[in-house]
Every structure is written in C-alpha cells, then in structure tokens.
Structure 1
Amino acid sequence: MKEPTYDIHERPPLHRWLIFSFQHLFAMVGATVLVPYLTGLDPAVALVTSGIGTLTYILITKGQIPAYLGSSFAFIQPISAAIANVGIDAAMLGAFLAGLVYGIVSLFILSFGTEWLLKLLPPIVVGPVIMVIGLGLAPTAVSNAMNVNGEYSLLHFSVAAVTLLICIIAAMYFKGIFGLVPVLFGMVGGYLYAVAMGIVDFSPVAEAAWFSVPQFSIPFVTYTPTWQWGIAIAMVPVAVVTFAEHTGHQLVLSKVTGRNTLKKPGLHRSIAGDGIAVMISSLLGGPPNTTYGENIGVLAITRVFSVYVIGGAAVIAILFGFSAKVSALISSIPPAVMGGASILLFGIIASSGLRMLIDNRIDFNENRNLVISSVILVIGVGGAMIRIEGFELSGMALATITGIVLNLVLPGRVSAGSMALNQQQSDDDSAA
C-alpha cells in the first residue's frame, strides 16, 4: 500500500494545513448547504453544526478516524414535512431522537457485536430504501429547476440545465481533486450563468455584515419543544438507513487508511460520535449530520489522513457560519441552480441503492427478494401512509419498517454471517 503523505496523527506545516483543510471544505460545502436550503433551515447554522459535529466526532473517536460530517440527505423529506406541518421545533425533536437511536445502537454493538445489525439491515432492505430516498426527492429537484413561485420559467430552467451540464462534465472529465467536487463546479458555473441572466440579487450580500450570529433554534431559549409522536415515528426509521451508510463509509475508510476503524476505535464509537453530532445539531437548529463520501474521496487521492486537517476544515466551516456575508451569498443562489445540481445528486442517491443490490448480487429470480424490493419502492415513492387519530407513519419511514418486517418474516432469509453491508458510497446526505 502506498505510504500516506501525512498520517492520521501527523500535523502538516501551517500553509499546507490550510490548503488541505480548504480542500475538504470545498468537497462538502455544496451538499451541506443544499440540505438546509431545501428544508427551510439556515445554511449558516448548517455550516456551524457541521463543524461542531465533526470536531465532536474526532473527539469521541479518539482522533483515530479522519472523517468529516456534513448535512444528511436522508432526512430532507421528514424534516421538510415536519417544518411545513408542525414547525421547526418538532423537526428538531425528531432529529434529536434519531441521534439518540444512534447512541442506543452503539451500545448494542459494544455489547453484542454487529451480527444483529446485519440481520436487521441486509442489502435487500437497505438498497431499495436508499432508492426511495433519491426518487422521493426527485419532484423537489425538478420543481426547483423549472418553476418560480409555482409557475414554469424557461429562463430558470435554462439555469438548471447549465448547472446540470457543468456537473456532468466535471464528474465525467475532471481528474484528481477536481473530479471529487463536480457539484461545487456545477453550482458555481450555474450561479455565474444566473448572474449573467440577471436573476441574482446582490443587494442583501452588499448590505450584510461580515460577522453575525446565525439564527440558531435552541430549545427552551428560542422555543419550547412539544412532543409529537408522528414526527418521532417519521424521523427515527431514517436513522436505520444511515447506519448502513455509516458502516459502509467506515469500511471504505479502513481500506483507504490501512487501519481497521471498525475494531479500533470501534464501530460503536464511530456511530456514537455520529449520533452525538446529530443531537448537537438538532439542539442548535441544524440538519442531522453524516459522514461524507466526498471527503473520503479526498483522503484517497491526496493520502493526507491527518485529523488535524479534518479539524481545520471544521473550524473554517464554523467561522464561515458566523459570517453574514457568506450566508447572504449562499442565500442569493437561485432555486434553479439548486434544482439543476439536485437532479444529479438525487439521481446518484437512487443509483447508489441500485448499485448496492448489484454489488451484493441480489437474485431477483427469487420471489422473496422481488417482493421485498417491490413493496419498499412502491410504498416509499408512492407516499403511502398509516394515519390513526393524529398518528401518522408515511413515506420512507413506512417503507423502511415494512421492508425490515418482510425481511424478518418471509421464509428463505440468508444467515447473518453471509450478509454484508455495502461498502460503496451512498450519497443520502451527501453529494456527487
């Protein structure tokens, strides 16, 4: 294996340290600010909670896993629905509970190992659910790409098309570090085209102060939380899916760094760190966090594994979050730019679920596999729901639970020892 440029506990010289940290910041920033943009949360808060979450994760994993945590795409639908129907307080409560589930799972892994998790989340369940995440978000991407205030706009659709085209070109033809951030290139290119078309208003950017406090939503400070069973049931099952993503990222990291992070510091610490980061984010009004495949790609290309570099990116993200100028610039991005980038991003999420099924050689000649995947896809994409006296279980949450139950009760289930969680990147909170 090729020797690392800087190993996990090595600290580069300051000038290189800053350059390497900015690389990681650029790799995650496009997707991280897209999530709050789509859900109605504050992008500045997302940057701050992303940085705090990453620093917390490094601390809990004893500085042994160089992973960056950004906004999770898996939670877009439930958070958007919660904010629209009940309010941000309920959405943050649901996110906090999802993070708490991470903590409970980490304790189970510490006590009983990982075999029970493999039984609960085989690829035949996780793959279709990941596809549901991407396909369920598709209408949002298309609407942002072509509509303005509910009305079709050819001009805005052209902005989305240019953004998507640049994303595709960057993903297909750019090499090295540049090939890892096609979404960033697409959003910058689409934004410049939108400026040329005269649909970007720079006045808020000019008026904004350089430094300001983001619009944090803190329980018992800015609002009084109220319990919502429906929100809890909608949000918690999403964490079940992100466990598989997280484990896959750890397997990839282990190969990249040459260290078995599932054993040292352990998958239980890694999941606990992710869960606590999610809970901290929810207490500040930010979207749930997850490990980012883009940043793992940066590690693989540069061979710079230093946690100091990851920590530096986290600190820069926090500083950017406290700049009203940066926040205003992000807010000036037209929905069409976000829509164009989202078409590729959400498609990649759906495709990564399909890739999981292919990589694990799921045989669809077996009726069992066909039934489980079919039911998950139609329930999740179709928006099926169970509603009883104010209690509601719908969409991805219902599809996930249904898939788990079918996998457990239908005959022919493969033994846990022969199952493997997918090692490939599944971008449900991450980007291209």
Structure 2
Amino acid sequence: MNQTKPILGLKDKPNASQWITLSLQHLFAMFGSTVLVPYLIGLSPAIALISSGLGTLAFLLITKFKVPAYLGSSFAFIAPMIAAQKLGGPAAAMIGTFIAGLVYGIVALIIKKAGYRWIMNLLPPIVVGPVIMVIGLALAGTAVGQAMYENNGTADQHYSLLYLSVALVTLLATILFTIFGKGVFSFIPILAGIIVGYLYALLVGVVDFQGVIDAKWIAMPDFILPFRDYDLTLDSAILALFVPVAIVTLAEHIGHQLVLSKVVGKDYIKDPGLHRSILGDGSATLISSLIGGPPKTTYGENIGVLAITRVYSVYVLAGAAVFAILFGFIGKITALIQSIPTPVMGGVSILLFGIIASSGLRILVEAKMDFSKNRNLVIASVILVTGIGGASIHIGSDFKLEGMALAAILGIILNFVLPGRDKATDDLFEEEAVDETK
C-alpha cells in the first residue's frame, strides 16, 4: 500500500478556493474522454456530463464516502451502443445501458453473499486481456474513418487530405502531451490534444462556430426519458450485446479498485467492499440510462490526479461532480463540444482506441501468460479473430450474438473446458475479504 502522507485525506474539507480549483482539476481530467464517447455514438455531451456528475455522487454515497473515485463515460460500451442504435435508435441504447447497470447490481449482490473469488475464476487474464484488445481494435475503423473522410459514414463520404492533416495534428499533440506533459498537462493529455487540434482546425477553416454564437448560455439538454420517449422492453438482441460486455468490464472495475487502494493506502476490496463499489458503478450506469447518457465507469485519469496531487478528499470529487452537472446546463459549452470537427475526434481516437487495445496486451504481460502453451494460444486467438472479424450467431429472427459479446462468451467457455486451467487466477488479491457483508 502507498504510505505517502496525503495533502488532504478522505474526509478533509478544503477551503473554498482550494475546493473550486481542485474540483475543476478533476473535471478537466475526465472531460475529454467523457464527452468523446457520446460524440462518437450520437448522444448529447451535456447529458454525458450531467449523468457523470449524478453517477459520481451516487457512487460516493453507496461507498459510504470512503472511495474517492470519479465516474465518466465508458469506452468499452461504444461498439454495443452503436449496434443497439442500429437496431432501435437511442431508445435501444438506453435499454442496453439499463441492462448493463442491472448486471452490475446482480453481480454486486452475488459478491456480497458469496465473496469475489468466483468472478476472478470466471474472468482470468487470458480471457480479459484479449477481450479488451478486441474492444479497442474493433473501433479502429471508426477512428480512421473520422480522421480521413469528410461526411464520414454518409453516402457523400469522400477522402479529404485537409481532414487528415487536422487528425494528424491532433494525434501528434496528444502523443506529445502524453509522453512529455508535465504538471497539469500530464493528466489531461486528451483534453489538451483536442484543444490543439480544434485550434488548428479553426485556422484551416474546418470549424463551424455559428452554433456556439447562436447557443444560449443556459439551456435544457435533450434528455431521453423512459415512458416519455420509449418503453422499457427487454430484447434478446440487446441482452446479447450488453450482458457479456458488462461482465468483462467488471474486471476493469476490479483493476481500478486495486490501483486506487494502492494510491490511497486503503484496502477498498475489504472496506467498504467490492460489492459496494460495483453497486455504485452499476447505479451510476442505471441513472445515466434513465436520462439519456452512456454507461459509466471509474476513470484512470482521475486516479492519476489522486496519485500526483495526493489530494484524496471526497469533498473534492463531489465538487467535481457538481461542476459537471452545472456544465451540462450551459448551452455554450454543449455547442462548443458539438462544434469539434470529426477529424479532431478521429485523431485523438486513433491513440485512445489503440491504448485500450494495448492495455489488454498489458494485462497479459503483467500476468506473465505463457503463450508457448497451446491452451493460452487457442483462447486468445479465438477471442481476437471472432471479436475483430465480427463473427455472429443468429437464432431465429430475434436473437443475434456477435462481435465482442460472442468473443467474450467463447473465451469464458474455452477457459473452462480446455485442460490445464490455472486455478490460481485470484492471486491478484492478497487474501479473501473478511466479513464482506458489512
């Protein structure tokens, strides 16, 4: 555990000026990634901000204000959200998001009753690593298309060297901030890269600023509400899209809790318990689904802010959540986000989606997976090809299992049926949590 003395402990309340500054710092750390997700899937960035703020407050409450985490938009669900929208528009995506939140809640309940070792056996590194690689690589075409084509995804799509130049400037800036960024720039490389790309796009005439000029300062976001805009109905195709991904992203959540425990010097697996943090994550996703936002997840960028600043105060995280909610109602900010040209987002997405894929590879490396063993080679190979290749299973006219979801299920099955399974997949934890049901 990290024993470095914090500047502000968990329950320390900063003074007014510190509170504002430190909270805005957390907001900007997650800002670029959180608004990128709704931008890519056609949802409102304003609602993404509001739902991230509400979700973070719910998470803090459920974890008894013991876990200083900020929740933003999840990249893992981009592909399922896009697929769901093709099936039934934004309503289908919201139903899928609701289902993902329910999955988290069910898993939290099981962990409370039975402990957490079962989920580590279900999701060992040889399954989780390749699936996360699929999540990143399956989105590669989206990033490259936005970087290269004007009117991307439409019948009028055509190659644009100007767009590519904007994407490359954005990509280069983001890389430089990621590698060489110091101080504040070390934990906002995505946001900084988007700003540089936007300024370049403005110079070369790619930005349409009229929407920002016309926008009102205070504006009501376009909430997507159940029973008003759509009915809550379960669909087997949506279940097949979201449930496997929700199960896999639990591994990401556990990893974040382990890292956060080391940073803060607490054992969050024991207290307040993994079941509470997972329930908090699921509740944030449920809240998001009820107002039209994307699924939520704890954010590595904000954990980085905690590690650098040694400010662990939950008051600071709550302040960032309140600012996010307020920003969501500022029409000028929403219009400014929506004015960002697609090649800017394409440029930053090339790096972001690549990092997601590389993080899956990192899981395999850190787990010391031996690929001289045919068992490991087979599992990883099947997951990668079926996931990236878009393999699908159709049963009747209603049920379809495809892509990342199918790859995850195949990986889990192969891990259990192939001989030579490593039964010590839960060694990531030092010991079983004591009395998790508190």
Match of residue 320, structure 2, among 292, 301, 313: 313
Amino acid at match of 2:384: L
Written as runs of structure 1 = structure 2, the 5 A alignment for 1:17-416 is 17-149=19-151, 150-390=157-397, 391-416=399-424
Give the gaps of 5 or more residues in structure 1.
Answer: 422-432
Equivalent pairs, count: 421
User: How far apart are residue 236 of structure 1 and its match?
Assistant: 1.1
Cα distance per residue 1:241-267 (max 9 Å; x no partner):
110000000001111100101111000
Amino acid at match of 2:49: L
Q: Distance in 2 between matches of 1:247 and 1:85?
A: 31
Which one is further off, 399-408 or 106-115?
106-115
Mark the CA change 1:90 to 1:108 in structure 2 (over 3 Å): closer, same or farther.
Answer: same
The equivalent residue for 1:2 is: 4
User: How far apart are residue 418 of structure 1 and its match?
Assistant: 5.2
Q: Distance in 2 between matches of 1:191 and 1:418?
A: 45
Amino acid at match of 1:63: F
User: How far apart are residue 324 of structure 1 and its match?
Assistant: 1.2
Cα distance per residue 1:44-85 (max 9 Å; x no partner):
110000000000000000000000000000000010111123
State whether residues 124 and 425 of structure 2, in contact with CA within 8 Å, keep that contact through their aligned partners in structure 1: no
User: How far apart are residue 226 of structure 1 and its match?
Assistant: 3.5
State whether residues 117 and 426 of structure 2, in contact with CA within 8 Å, keep that contact through their aligned partners in structure 1: no
Which one is further off, 168-177 or 311-320?
168-177
User: How far apart are residue 331 of structure 1 and its match?
Assistant: 0.2
Give the gaps of 5 or more residues in structure 2.
Answer: 152-156, 430-438
User: How far apart are residue 419 of structure 1 and its match?
Assistant: 4.2
The equivalent residue for 2:436 is: none
TM-score, normalization: structure 2?
Answer: 0.95
User: How far apart are residue 91 of structure 1 and its match?
Assistant: 1.3
Runs of 4+ in 1 over 2 A off after TM superposition: 222-227, 416-421
Q: Distance in 1 between matches of 2:418 and 2:4?
A: 46
State whether residues 27 and 180 of structure 1, in contact with CA within 8 Å, keep that contact through their aligned partners in structure 2: yes
Q: Distance in 1 between matches of 2:86 and 2:341?
A: 21
Amino acid at match of 1:398: L
The equivalent residue for 2:433 is: none
Which one is further off, 176-185 or 153-162?
176-185
Match of residue 14, structure 1, among 13, 16, 21: 16
Supply the RMSD in Å over aligned alpha carbons. Answer: 1.0
User: How far apart are residue 271 of structure 1 and its match?
Assistant: 0.1
Q: Identity of aligned pairs, percent?
A: 61
SS of the aligned residue for 1:222 comes to coil
State whether residues 91 and 229 of structure 2, in contact with CA within 8 Å, keep that contact through their aligned partners in structure 1: no
State whether residues 48 and 317 of structure 1, in contact with CA within 8 Å, keep that contact through their aligned partners in structure 2: yes
SS of the aligned residue for 1:386 comes to strand
Mark the CA change 1:398 to 1:193 in structure 2 (over 3 Å): closer, same or farther.
Answer: same
User: How far apart are residue 351 of structure 1 and its match?
Assistant: 0.3
Which one is further off, 191-200 or 407-416?
407-416
SS of the aligned residue for 1:209 comes to coil
SS of the aligned residue for 1:392 comes to strand
Q: Distance in 2 between matches of 1:255 and 1:137?
A: 31
Q: Distance in 2 between matches of 1:187 and 1:330?
A: 10
SS of the aligned residue for 1:290 comes to strand
State whether residues 57 and 318 of structure 2, in contact with CA within 8 Å, keep that contact through their aligned partners in structure 1: yes
Q: Distance in 2 between matches of 1:417 and 1:75?
A: 25
Amino acid at match of 1:415: K
TM-score, normalization: structure 1?
Answer: 0.96
